[in-house]
Every structure is written in C-alpha cells, then in structure tokens.
Amino acid sequence: MDNKEFERLLLTVQKPGRYSGGEINSVIKDKEKVDVRFAFCFPDTYEIGMSHLGMKILYSQFNARDDIWCERVFAPWLDFEEVMRQNNIPLFALESRDPVKNFDFIGFTLQYEMSYTNVLNMLDLAGVPLRSADRKDLAPLVVAGGPCVCNAEPLADFVDIFFLGEGEEVDLEVIDLYKKHKAIGSTKAEFLREAAQIEGVYVPSLYDVSYNEDGTINAVTPKDNAPAVIKKRIIKDLNNCHYPENFVVPFIQIVHDRAVQEIFRGCIRGCRFCQAGFIYRPVREKSAEVINRQAKCLCENTGYDEISISSLSSSDYTELEPLLNEMLDWTQQNHISLALPSLRIDNFSEELLEKISHIRKSGLTFAPEAGTQRLRDVINKNVTEEEILSTCKIAFEGGHTAVKLYFMMGLPTETDEDLKGIADLGQKIVDMYYAMPNRPKGKSVSVSMSVAVFVPKPFTPFQFEPQISKAEMERKQAYLKSCITTRKIDLSMHDSSTSFLEGAFARGDRRLGNVLELAFKKGCKFDSWNECFDLEKWNEAFLECGLDPNFYSARLRAYDEINPWDHLDYAVSKGFLVREHQTALSEKTTPNCREKCSACGANCYGEGVCFEKR
Amino acid sequence: MRNVRIFYEKKGRMKFVSHLDMNRFMSRLIAKSKIPVWFTEGFNQHAYMNFAVPLSLGYVGLYEVMDVKITDDNYPLEKLVEALNTVSTPDINFVKAAESVMHTKEIAFAEFKLSFDNVNAEKINEFFANESIITQKKTKKGGIKDIDIAPLIKKAELCGNELTLILTAGNENNLNPSLVMTAFYDFCGVDPDFYDVTRVMIYDKNLNKFE
C-alpha cells in the first residue's frame, strides 16, 4: 500500500499518532545494511506499551548494535484493526511501516495474562500462522519474554522461544546464534535445538508433557538434549548494564508520559501474594552516582519535564537520601519535577524534607492489602494500622484531605471479619480526620478504597492455594459494600470475571492453548479492557475444549503435585515456597532479606542483597 | 527580554500530531535545545509559548508561527533556529526566528492548497460562484448552527488538480477548509475526494504576510 493511501486511512481513525511513527528518538536504519530485524511487540495499545520501561531498555540496547534493527509494534485499537482488515494492511512496525511477517524475530513482552489473546490477534493480523508447528521456516521466529513467561504454558503452542528472566544478555546471545544459523541456511529445528542450550532459553516444543487421569501433570520430558530445568537469567552488575540514554518520546499522551530511571531490581520484602517480589530476586542496586548520571542524561535527551524513579519499593534503596539530595538539585534548577512514587519519608532529615516539600504533591496512597493485622501477617505485608493512621494524620495536618488505599479480597484464610476490617480502617481514618482540632477548615475528607480480587500466582508461597470462586467473590464484594456506612469512603472493586479468568491462565498448562485459540476465533481480544471483555465467549471456549477453568484456579494443589512451571527455575526453590506457605498458615511473618536471609535460593547467582554485609 | 516569533514547517508524519500534542512536543524541544526561554512563574512553571493559529490534525503547515520570550537579549536568533533544528525531527523544520512585527490579533486570512485525486472542475467552479453558501457548523457548546460561509471565502481558484483557498482565519472567525469541502459535498453530492491539505501562508487583513 502506498503511503498516501495509508495516511488517508490513518486520518479516519482516532488518535492516528498511535500508528504514524516518526517520534523523536525513534530509530531509522537502512534495512539493507542490517542482518537481523526484530519486531518488538507489546500486546496492548500504544499508550500502554510505550509506557513500559523494559521495552525502552531492549529497544535501545538492540539498536545500539549496527547489525540489528529493532522496531516497535503495538496492538491496533478496534477502529484501526477494522481499517487494517478491510484494506488488507498487515501488521506493520512503526519505524519502517514494513510488514512484521518479513522480520527475523517477532518478539512479544508478556506483562499480564489478559493480553494473551492480543498476542494471537497480532500474529493473525501479521499474516503469520499462529502455531509454532505451522511456521516451518527459520524466520520469522516468534519469541517472548516478561514476567508471565514464568508460566507461559498456555502460549507454549504458539511461541518458538521463551526468554526467562532479564533479557539484556540472553536476547543478544540468541540473536547472535540466529545470525550464524541464518548464514549457513539451517532449518528452524536445527536452530531451536541449539538455542535451547543457552541458559535462560526455553523452547517449549522440545518438551513433552504427559498427564495423569485426574488432569494433573505426570511428567515434563525434554527432547533433543534440551535441559530438564531451565534457569532464569539475571544481570549481575546493574551499574555496567545497558541503560537507554534516550527514550522514544511519543507525540500523543501516554500512560506514564515521563522519563523513568530504574534504581534497583528485585524486592527485599517478600509479600507472599506478590509474584514480582519473588521472580525478580535477588535485589541488585544501581549506585546513586550511576542513577544520577543516567537520569540527567535521559532528561537532557528527551526534554521531558518530569522524571520518576522506578523500583518495586523505592524506600528500600540503601542510598536514598544522598540520591534524592543530588537529584533534587538539578531537577529543580531545570524545571523538572521529580516523581517519588510510594516513598516512606518518616526517617528523612529536616533538610531533605524541606527540599521535598517543594515537589508538587500527588495523592497520598497506601497499600495495606488486607483489613486486619492477622491477615496482613498471613500475607507478610508489614504495614501496621498505627503507621497508616499516623502518616494520614501528618498528611491531614499538612493540608491533604484525600487518601487512597489499596486492598485485596479472597486472600488465603480470609474471613468476613477481615473484610469488615477494610471498612473499619476506612472509618477510623474518617473519624480521626474529624477528631482533629487543626484539620483543614471547611473541607470534607475523602478516603478512596480500591479492592482487587486476589489471584494466586506461580512462584509465590500462595501458588498452592485455591482462588475463591466467582460466586464467593461476588458475595464478598456485596458484604464489604454493606459494611461501609459513610459517604466519605469511596469503594471501587474490580470486575470478578476478569480475575477469575486471570486465575485460570496464571496457573494453566499448555492444554489451555486450545481454549485461547478458540476464544480468539470467537472474537476475544483486549480482555483487560472492560468494553471488550466477554466472559460468555470464554466459557463457551472452555466448554468446547472440554476443560474446566476451576481445575486450574480453584483447587488446593498438593506440595508434591507437578505444576506446569516446575521445570522452570526462577531461583526461589519449591522447598522455600512450601516453608513460606506453612509460615503463612500459622499467621507468622518472615523478616525481609536485609534483616535475615530465609534461604530462598536466590543467592545462587553470587550477587545482590544476599551478599551485603549485615 | 525579547518577544521572538518562530516560523516553522509541520509536515510528513508530524501532520498526525494534534495541536494539544504540539504544545507538549514544542516544550520538550525547547528544553532539549537549551535556548534561554522565559518560564512562567506560577505554580506550574513551564516555558511560555503561544501559537498564532492552531493547525488541524492531518494538515501540513508551511508557515506555522510560535511565539516565545527570550531572556537573553544578546542571544542571536540564527542560533535559535539552528539549536531547534538540531534537536527536532525533519518533519518539524524551523525556518526563521525574528522579533515579532504584528500582533496575532491582526491575523485575518490563511491560504490553503488542496490537492484532489479526481477533480470535477465544473462542479467546483459552479459551487464557488454561489453568492451564499449555507452550511452547518458545530458550535463550541455542542450544538449545530447554520452559517453562510461564502463571505468567509476570499479566494477560490482551481488550477489542475490543486485548489487554492484563501479563507478567513483568526480568533474571531475561522473557516476550516474541511468545512468548505463538506459544504461542497452537500451542494453537489459528489465526494470531493481530497487527501492533502496544506496551509501555505497566514495574512493580515490587507493580505500582507503575517510577520
């Protein structure tokens, strides 16, 4: 299709800036002069995908090499997909507008289970056969990385290669191997066999899965010399690891429209529901000096007037005070606002507090996750009611009148008492506000509480736990609603249907591939978007495939059951997860990594918090 | 402090960038270029910028105007253009920077070029010969009202596949070429089939170049 015709079509859809390309810092190369073309696909809209730091890191790193051209691809929104299908426009990469099917690699990042249908839809739009077995040629290879790879079995039939863990090194090793095989004209099978030997590479087609009569897994058997256990990769030294000096700066407003500076990976806390807290272990920090230099460079090259520091729990950064001191100096000089998400500021010096007070205040947010101390001990979330109330008090005294609290429902061992605790905590904050003689004059208080449904995830101590049924979710939601008696509390709850489906896919096996494909053929896509999600179609798909979603989500799993992800090694041992699960059930907390090592297994890399002096 | 008027072209892929997004784009460009612009001094400090007449999404603009304030009186204006082009994309090309001569209130007309795939010269000439062209326009309040656009069309000239229009522009009264084309469609029932709109010039009431 010629450009003129294409651009005219762009003008018929909403936000053509999603598809136009040409953003500042986007990389254009001569396709004749590169050996490998990599289509980096984010299976959601442009605004969401462009906010993703991992994509920015790998885009910049791949393009730093002369022989690789990495381009971006996002899922077209419904209106443009219709235009594409009507006019036979295949899925294209933003930079060159070349069809993705002509690339060497089609790489997806799997950030959440509800994006799986978009992966299939994008392959379909690209004109590429969905199933790995139906793609006979060496290229294009469909590869995937990201947190969901820790159990990507539902996508095992569609993806040629999964990358486990952090991609900076392993991706390039695979690309180099591909170059070699492309040059000598190898078959896809030959290439995949050798790729499987690289640490962190999981080639699902090289593993046979057999099942017991009750539907559980009997064995996962490697073929062709593939390793029995695939171990995730990590970057040992973050200070000397590639970090972009540049972001592609979008024209249209995206979800996180700012520079982002990573400060460490992993999390010391070990909250038992949190998958990120386990699969990114061990904690590895960047030095304050490196962070400062990279952040400055990023702001200069993008022109952003806002920068945010990024990690799973920024308060746990060891050099936080000197870092903020430095960063506040140059950001304020240059009219750049520094965003400090979820920071505890109780132990800062007066001088730093004074500096921070000039930062534009965002809302006050807490994530107690559960309503009672008992349940917070079960999930190992070490936030006390006292801390929440005292911080709210300071904030109210400082003029704030709104707080936001995040909770989950359906946590293991949860009773109605715990749910009532959520409402009670909200009420206590409201009461405290009105008991304050020095509260902001003439203003009402607002407490927003957002309650999600807990979804047990692989590689967490709760991977053995059943998810509550959809009926129970709805009962709990109704009960919680009835506990709230004041209008000062604004309660919002997640849709139980999406959580239910997420639960099945999070711990699903590769038989779910059929369900996924069928649901996609019935028209499921953008499942994380309320306006698109259709549980009916999903239920039909499960029924027609003879599978029950409850088998995956609503069942207590025995410790010795073989889980679909047990042949993947994310450096936290199953023994540790079992111990943690038992500690949880006895309502006891586990100290964080800096207080005491709990022997999870992440010290196997010889790096990180495990080797800090205590 | 000087009031400086910057002239630039907006073309290529940049035509898909809306006016609101242009604001953000320009403020980042200015930050990258490190030119000494004046920042507003309110709670939400930002580089001061003023765009003379917004350009609709999808149009190319060859005479786009943005005003800034420069704090350094000795800063050479040629250097300003160079500094901006160094950090810009080729699709936003800075042409000139000069002290502003006219006030943006003086803008009265804009000249557009529209190119057609298939042109029906007879119908077009017949259409523009009308003394009154009543069409419907959406009002800012969301309603629809009838207006006569004929008095707002200063010039309409067809040359081959290219139609030149000089239309009333500015804050008070502004006529968009797409509204002219909608009216044309309503008038003769023939799809005007235009794809490319370029705003080539902005004038004051005497058709002097806006400077």
- Provide ipTM, 2 decimals: 0.87
For residue A386, give every residue at least 6 positions away whose Cβ sits within 8 Å of its Cβ, in sequence order, or none. none
| pLDDT value of residue A504 | 96
Rounded to an integer, what distance in angstroms lies between the CA atom of residue B126 and that of residue B188?
10
Interface of A with B (CB under 8 A): 4, 7-8, 10-11, 16-17, 20-24, 249, 251-253, 257, 300-305, 334-335, 360
Residue B194: band (very low, low, confident or very high) from pLDDT cuts 50, 70, 90: low
| Length of chain A, in residues | 614
| pLDDT value of residue A298 | 96
Most confident of A43-52, A366-375, B44-53: A43-52
Rounded to an integer, what distance in angstroms lies between the CA atom of residue A428 and that of residue A358?
30
Is the CB of B89 less than 8 angstroms away from the CB of A334? Answer: no
A22 contacts in B (CB within 8 Å)?
Answer: 12-14, 89, 91
| pLDDT value of residue A4 | 82
Chain B residue whose CA is closest to A25: B89
Nearest to A22 among B12, B31, B47 (CB): B12
Rounded to an integer, what distance in angstroms lies between the CA atom of residue A482 and that of residue A408?
17
Q: So where are chain A's domains? A: 3-231, 258-362+597-614
Residue A28: band (very low, low, confident or very high) from pLDDT cuts 50, 70, 90: very high
Is the CB of A17 less than 8 angstroms away from the CB of B28? Answer: no
Instruction: Summarize the confidence of residues A202-206 as an average pLDDT.
Output: 98
In a 10 Å sphere around its CB, with 0-12 CB exposed, 13-18 middle and 19+ buried, how is residue A119 labelled? buried
Is the CB of A303 less than 8 angstroms away from the CB of B28? Answer: yes
| pLDDT value of residue A402 | 86
Helix or strand run (H / E) with residue B2? strand B2-10
- Phi first, then psi: what are they for B184, rounded to 5°? -60, -45
Q: Terminal CA-to-CA distance of chain A, rounded, Å?
A: 63
- Phi first, then psi: what are they for B78, rounded to 5°? -65, -40
pLDDT at A21 over 70: yes
Instruction: Indicate the average pLDDT of chain A.
Output: 93
pLDDT at B161 over 90: no
- Do A601 and A276 touch, CB atoms closer than 8 A? no
Chain B residue whose CA is closest to A303: B28
> Which of 3.30.70, 1.10.10, 1.10.3470, 3.40.30 is the CATH number of B105-203?
3.30.70
pLDDT in tens, A500-538: 999 999 999 999 999 999 999 999 999 999 999 999 999
Instruction: Summarize the confidence of residues A153-168 as an average pLDDT.
Output: 97
Rounded to an integer, what distance in angstroms lies between the CA atom of residue A446 and that of residue A48?
29
Using alpha carbons only, give the angle A363, A368, A371 rounded to the nearest 5 degrees: 125
What percentage of chain B carries pLDDT values higher than 70? 98
- Counting Cα atoms < 13 Å in the Cβ hemisphere of A438 gives 7
Residue A244: CB atoms within 10 A of its CB come to 23
Nearest to B28 among A10, A253, A302 (CB): A302
Q: Which residue has the tokens 């730091």?
A: A53
**Domain A258-362+597-614 listed as CATH 3.30.750.210:** yes
Q: How distant is the Cα of B206 from the closest Cα of chain A, in angstroms?
A: 34
Residue A363: band (very low, low, confident or very high) from pLDDT cuts 50, 70, 90: low
| pLDDT value of residue B142 | 77
pLDDT at A357 over 80: no
| pLDDT value of residue A66 | 97
Chain B residue whose CA is closest to A10: B16
DSSP class of A277 = H
Rounded to an integer, what distance in angstroms lies between the CA atom of residue A256 and that of residue A262?
14
Nearest to B59 by CA among B122, B95, B11: B11
Residue A344: band (very low, low, confident or very high) from pLDDT cuts 50, 70, 90: low
| pLDDT value of residue B48 | 92
- Find residues 29-68 of chain B whose CB sits inside 8 Å of chain A: 29-32, 39, 43-47, 57-58
Residue A311: band (very low, low, confident or very high) from pLDDT cuts 50, 70, 90: very high
pLDDT in tens, A244-270: 999 999 999 999 999 999 999 999 999
B13 contacts in A (CB within 8 Å)?
Answer: 20-22
| pLDDT value of residue B29 | 94
The predicted model scores a pTM of 0.93
Fold of B2-100: Alpha-Beta Plaits (3.30.70)
Q: What share of chain A is helix, strand, coil (3-state, %, to 5)?
A: 40, 15, 45
Strands (E), A178-299: 201-202, 207-211, 217-222, 230-231, 259-262, 264-265, 284-285
Collapsing DSSP to helix, strand or coil, A48 comes out as helix
- Do A570 and A202 touch, CB atoms closer than 8 A? no
3-class secondary structure per residue, B13-58 = HHHHCCHHHHHHHHHHHHHHHCCCECECCCCCCCECCEECCCCCCC
Residue A360: band (very low, low, confident or very high) from pLDDT cuts 50, 70, 90: low
- Do B66 and B52 touch, CB atoms closer than 8 A? yes
pLDDT at A441 over 90: no
pLDDT at A346 over 60: no
Residue A366: band (very low, low, confident or very high) from pLDDT cuts 50, 70, 90: confident
| pLDDT value of residue B120 | 80
Q: How distant is the Cα of A39 from the closest Cα of chain B, in angstroms?
A: 20
| pLDDT value of residue A395 | 78
pLDDT in tens, A559-588: 999 999 999 999 999 999 999 999 999 999
Q: How distant is the Cα of A208 from the closest Cα of chain B, in angstroms?
A: 48
Q: Does B175 touch chain A (CB under 8 A)?
A: no
Nearest to B16 among A10, A24, A300 (CB): A10
Q: Which tokens go with A172?
A: 């390039």
Instruction: Summarize the confidence of residues A359-383 as an average pLDDT.
Output: 85
Report CA-CA distances (Å) from A459 to A209, A569, A578, A581, A597: 20, 9, 10, 11, 18
| pLDDT value of residue B189 | 79
Domain with CATH 3.30.70.580 in chain B: 2-100
Is the CB of B27 less than 8 angstroms away from the CB of A4? Answer: no
pLDDT at A284 over 60: yes
pLDDT in tens, B104-150: 999 999 999 998 887 788 888 888 988 888 888 877 777 888 888 88
| pLDDT value of residue A345 | 56
Rounded to an integer, what distance in angstroms lies between the CA atom of residue B12 and that of residue B74?
34
